[in-house]
């Protein structure tokens, strides 16, 4: 049996397949479909300081091989997460990682501090890249100095594994990757959604209430793959790669480009069992190529 386990910044994952924030709820919604214990980990929906209602409907537009969303961080705030949600999910047989969002440095720090106290949450993923909030959010993810600052401030209070999720809506992804590495990030996640838009020509109106929104799904995969490759060459901390992964082939591509683990996002909507199929598919690939450890795939792209 090939060894699928990966160690990322000291945290051991049973396999490199995890699920992306905002596409997997809090995990329990998937218990009818799959055994969560077969996943490397689950990244739960963004948590902010206070309750957020998110943006108005319509929040979704289908595109060719993808979708736009403008959910806008709807969640009930960190208090509610700690009180109501954490007890319900803390004993899942997989790593539960919280996606931390905010509009100010103080908000990120406050949420990170609260999550730090939760025993069964081994890591957080700072979302400095959400395109769907007016204030902050993406600004932290597009200006390197701000990215360093928010990472460094959270680093001061957060004692466990600190992951930072980058936005692809920048000219130079490596500048941002270096910036968060300088701020003390243990892991880089990329990519979040690409800013896009859709128009209803009959009504001559934008489809989304927010006019623009975040593009996800196979449509963004080539961009995501390129960014993982560039960042892998530029920084020396582990990368979790995502963007349009629909099957094991896609997942393996991300690992070859340099990702130590991957996240499955939008694909969960189309097939809620796909994450487990990807685990099986990676294992089958390893058997076929006589690869003993999945870690041998990380950055193993041949370019010469």
Ligand X SMILES: Cc1cc2nc3c(=O)[nH]c(=O)nc-3n(C[C@H](O)[C@H](O)[C@H](O)COP(=O)(O)O)c2cc1C
In angstroms, what is the minimal distance from the CB of 267 to ligand X? 6
Among 2, 77, 272, 299, the residue binding other proteins under the rule CB under 8 A is 272
Q: Count other C-beta atoms under 10 Å from residue 39's C-beta.
A: 26
Distance CA 179, CA 162 (A): 14
Handedness of CA 183, 18, 57, 204 (dihedral sign): positive
Residue 97 DSSP code = E
Active site residue 82: no
Least Cα distance to 17 among 32, 31, 29, 34 occurs for 34
Beta strands in 83-230 (DSSP E): 95-100, 123-127, 161-165, 187-190, 194-197, 199-200, 205-206, 212-216
55 binds ligand X per the rule CB under 6 A: no
First to last CA, the chain: 31
> Among 8, 11, 15, 23, which residue sits at the site for other proteins (rule: CB under 8 A)?
23
Q: Which of 6, 17, 20, 259 contacts ligand X by CB under 6 A?
A: 20
Site for ligand X in 86-115 (CB under 6 A): 99
220, 251, 256, 297: residue in contact with ligand X (rule CB under 6 A): 220
Three-state DSSP at 100 gives: strand
Q: Is 241 exposed, middle or buried (0-12, 13-18, 19+ CB in 10 A)?
A: buried
Compute the distance between CA of residue 147 and CA of residue 3 in angstroms, rounded to an integer.
Answer: 35
d(CA 65, CA 218): 6
184 lies in the site for other proteins, by CB under 8 A: no
Q: Beta strand pairing status for 6-8 and 11-13?
A: antiparallel
Interface with ligand X in residues 147-166 (CB under 6 A): 165
Q: Is 63 in the site for other proteins (CB under 8 A)?
A: yes
Q: Quote the CA–CA distance of 163 and 183 in Å, as a whole number.
A: 11
From ligand X, other proteins, none, interface partner of 63 (C-beta below 5 to 8 A by class)? other proteins
Near ligand X by CB under 6 A: residue from 109, 133, 242, 257: 242
Catalytic member of 73, 130, 225, 267: 130
Cα gap 275→246, rounded to integer Å: 9
Closer residue to ligand X, CB minimum distance, 6 or 128 = 128
CB of 213 to ligand X, least distance (A): 9
Q: What is the spatial distance between Cα 268 and Cα 102, in angstroms, rounded to a whole number?
A: 25
Which of 48, 69, 103, 148: binder of ligand X (CB under 6 A)?
69
Interaction partner, residue 281 (ligand X, other proteins, none; CB < 5-8 Å by kind): none
Q: Does residue number 212 form part of the binding site for other proteins (CB under 8 A)?
A: no
The stretch near ligand X (CB under 6 A) out of 89-97, 150-158, 198-206, 215-223 is 215-223
Instruction: Give me the phi and psi of 170, to 5 degrees please.
Output: -140, 160
Q: Which does 65 bind (CB under 5 to 8 A by kind): ligand X, other proteins, none?
A: other proteins
Residue 67 vs 255, nearer CB to other proteins: 67
Nearer to ligand X, 12 or 65 (CB): 65
What residues act catalytically?
Answer: 130
Task: List residues near ligand X by CB under 6 A.
Answer: 20-23, 45-46, 69, 71, 73, 99, 127, 130, 165, 192-193, 216-217, 220, 242-245, 265-267
């Amino acid at each position: 049996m090939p060894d699928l386990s990966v160690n990322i910044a000291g945290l051991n994952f049973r396999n490199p397949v995890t699920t992306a924030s905002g596409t997997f709820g809090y995990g329990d919604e998937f218990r009818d479909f799959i055994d969560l214990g077969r996943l490397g980990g689950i990244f739960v929906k963004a948590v902010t300081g206070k309750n957020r209602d998110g943006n108005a409907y319509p929040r979704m537009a289908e595109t060719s091989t993808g979708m736009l969303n403008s959910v806008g961080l709807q969640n009930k705030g960190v208090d509610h997460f700690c009180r109501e949600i954490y007890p319900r999910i803390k004993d899942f047989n997989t790593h539960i990682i919280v996606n931390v969002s905010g509009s100010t440095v103080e908000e990120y720090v406050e949420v990170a501090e609260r999550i730090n106290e939760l025993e069964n949450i081994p890591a957080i993923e700072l979302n400095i890249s959400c395109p769907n909030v007016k204030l902050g959010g993406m600004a932290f993810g597009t200006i390197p100095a701000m990215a360093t600052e928010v990472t460094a401030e959270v680093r001061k209070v957060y004692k466990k594994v600190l992951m930072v999720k980058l936005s692809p809506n920048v000219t130079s992804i490596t500048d941002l990757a270096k910036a968060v590495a300088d701020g003390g990030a243990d892991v880089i996640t990329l990519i979040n959604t690409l800013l896009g838009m859709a128009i209803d020509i009959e009504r001559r109106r934008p489809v989304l209430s927010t006019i623009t929104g975040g593009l996800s799904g196979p449509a963004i995969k080539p961009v995501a793959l390129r960014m993982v490759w560039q960042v892998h060459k530029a920084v020396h901390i582990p990368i979790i790669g995502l963007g349009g992964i629909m099957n094991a082939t896609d997942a393996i591509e991300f690992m070859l480009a340099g990702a130590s683990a991957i996240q499955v996002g939008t694909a969960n909507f189309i097939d809620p069992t796909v994450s487990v199929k990807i685990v099986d598919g990676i294992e089958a690939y390893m058997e076929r190529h006589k690869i003993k450890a999945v870690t041998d795939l990380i950055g193993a792209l041949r370019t010469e």
